Amino acid sequence: MKRCRGCGVPLQSDDPKRPGYIPPEKLDDPRGLCQRCFKIKYYGEFRSVPVEDFPFDEIAKNVDLICLIVDGVDIEGSWVLDRFREAKNIWVVVNKTDLLPFSKEEIVKWLREEKGWSGKVFLTSSKKGWGLKGFWEELNFVYRGKKVAFMGVTNVGKSSLVGRLLGDESITVSPWPGTTIDVVERKNEEGTIFIDTPGLVPSGRLYDLLCPDCQKKVIPSKKLSGKIFFLKSGKSLSLGGLSALTVLTGGLLLKPFVSYEVPLHRTNQKRLKEVIKEGAGEWLKPPCKGCFDRIEEIGWSEEVLEVSEGLDLAISGLGWVSLFKGEGKISLLLPSKVSFNLRRSIRG
Ligand SMILES: Nc1nc2c(ncn2[C@@H]2O[C@H](COP(=O)(O)OP(=O)(O)OP(=O)(O)O)[C@@H](O)[C@H]2O)c(=O)[nH]1
Ligand SMILES: [Mg+2]
Ligand SMILES: [Zn+2]
Ligand SMILES: [Zn+2]
What confidence score (pLDDT) does residue 45 get? Answer: 95
Atom of ligand 1 nearest to the CA of 154: 25
Mutating to test ligand 1, I would choose from 66, 74, 160 the residue with most ligand atoms within 8 A of its C-beta, which is 160
What tens-digit pLDDT sequence spans the chain (348 residues)?
A: 899 999 999 999 999 999 999 999 998 888 889 999 999 999 999 999 999 899 999 999 999 999 999 999 999 999 999 999 989 999 999 999 999 999 999 999 999 999 999 999 999 999 999 999 999 999 999 999 999 999 999 999 999 999 999 999 999 999 999 999 999 999 999 999 999 999 999 999 999 999 999 999 999 999 998 899 999 999 999 999 999 999 999 999 999 999 999 999 999 999 999 999 999 999 999 999 999 999 999 999 999 999 999 999 999 999 999 999 999 999 999 999 999 999 999 986
User: Does one domain contain both 69 and 195?
Assistant: yes
User: Does one domain contain both 275 and 188?
Assistant: no
Q: Please report, to the nearest 10 degrees, the dihedral formed by the alpha carbons of residues 220, 222, 228, 231 taken in order.
A: -20
Atom of ligand 1 nearest to the CA of 220: 1
User: Does one domain contain both 60 and 176?
Assistant: yes
User: Does one domain contain both 57 and 174?
Assistant: yes
Q: Nearest C-alpha to atom 26 of ligand 1 is from which residue?
A: 175
- CATH at 126: 3.40.50.300
User: Does one domain contain both 55 and 120?
Assistant: yes
Asked if the structure places residue 6 within a domain, the reply is: no
User: Does one domain contain both 77 and 192?
Assistant: yes
> Which residues is 247 bridged to in the sheet?
330
User: Does one domain contain both 91 and 177?
Assistant: yes
Q: Nearest C-alpha to atom 11 of ligand 1 is from which residue?
A: 175
What confidence score (pLDDT) does residue 137 get? Answer: 95
What confidence score (pLDDT) does residue 71 get? Answer: 98
Q: Assess whether the C-beta atom of 174 lies below 6 angstroms from ligand 1.
A: yes
| Domains identified in the chain, total number | 2
User: Does one domain contain both 75 and 145?
Assistant: yes
User: Does one domain contain both 140 and 248?
Assistant: no
Asked if the structure places residue 23 within a domain, the reply is: no
Asked if the structure places residue 328 within a domain, the reply is: yes
Which of residues 159, 187, 202 is at a domain's end? 202
Residue 336 domain boundaries: 229-344
Q: Assess whether the C-beta atom of 153 lies below 6 angstroms from ligand 1.
A: no
CA dist 289 and 281 (Å) reads 4
Mutating to test ligand 1, I would choose from 78, 107, 173 the residue with most ligand atoms within 8 A of its C-beta, which is 173
Asked if the structure places residue 308 within a domain, the reply is: yes
Atom of ligand 1 nearest to the CA of 69: 19
> Which residues is 147 bridged to in the sheet?
193
What confidence score (pLDDT) does residue 109 get? Answer: 97
Asked if the structure places residue 208 within a domain, the reply is: no
Q: 161 near 133, Cβ under 8 Å?
A: no
Question: Cβ-count burial of 82 within 10 angstroms (0-12 exposed, 13-18 middle, 19+ buried)?
Answer: exposed
User: Does one domain contain both 241 and 178?
Assistant: no
| CA proximity to 242, closest of 298, 306, 202 | 298
pLDDT digits (tens, 9 = 90+) for 159-201: 999 999 999 999 999 999 999 999 999 999 999 999 999 999 9
Q: Assess whether the C-beta atom of 41 lies below 6 angstroms from ligand 1.
A: no
Atom of ligand 1 nearest to the CA of 124: 31
Asked if the structure places residue 150 within a domain, the reply is: yes
User: Does one domain contain both 56 and 185?
Assistant: yes
pLDDT digits (tens, 9 = 90+) for 55-76: 999 999 999 999 999 999 999 9
What confidence score (pLDDT) does residue 83 get? Answer: 93
Q: 216 near 259, Cβ under 8 Å?
A: no
User: Does one domain contain both 170 and 257?
Assistant: no
Atom of ligand 1 nearest to the CA of 180: 23
Asked if the structure places residue 91 within a domain, the reply is: yes
CA of 144: how far to CAs of 12, 130, 239, 273, in Å? 34, 22, 46, 57
Ligand 2: distance of its center to the CA of 176 in Å?
10
Asked if the structure places residue 38 within a domain, the reply is: no
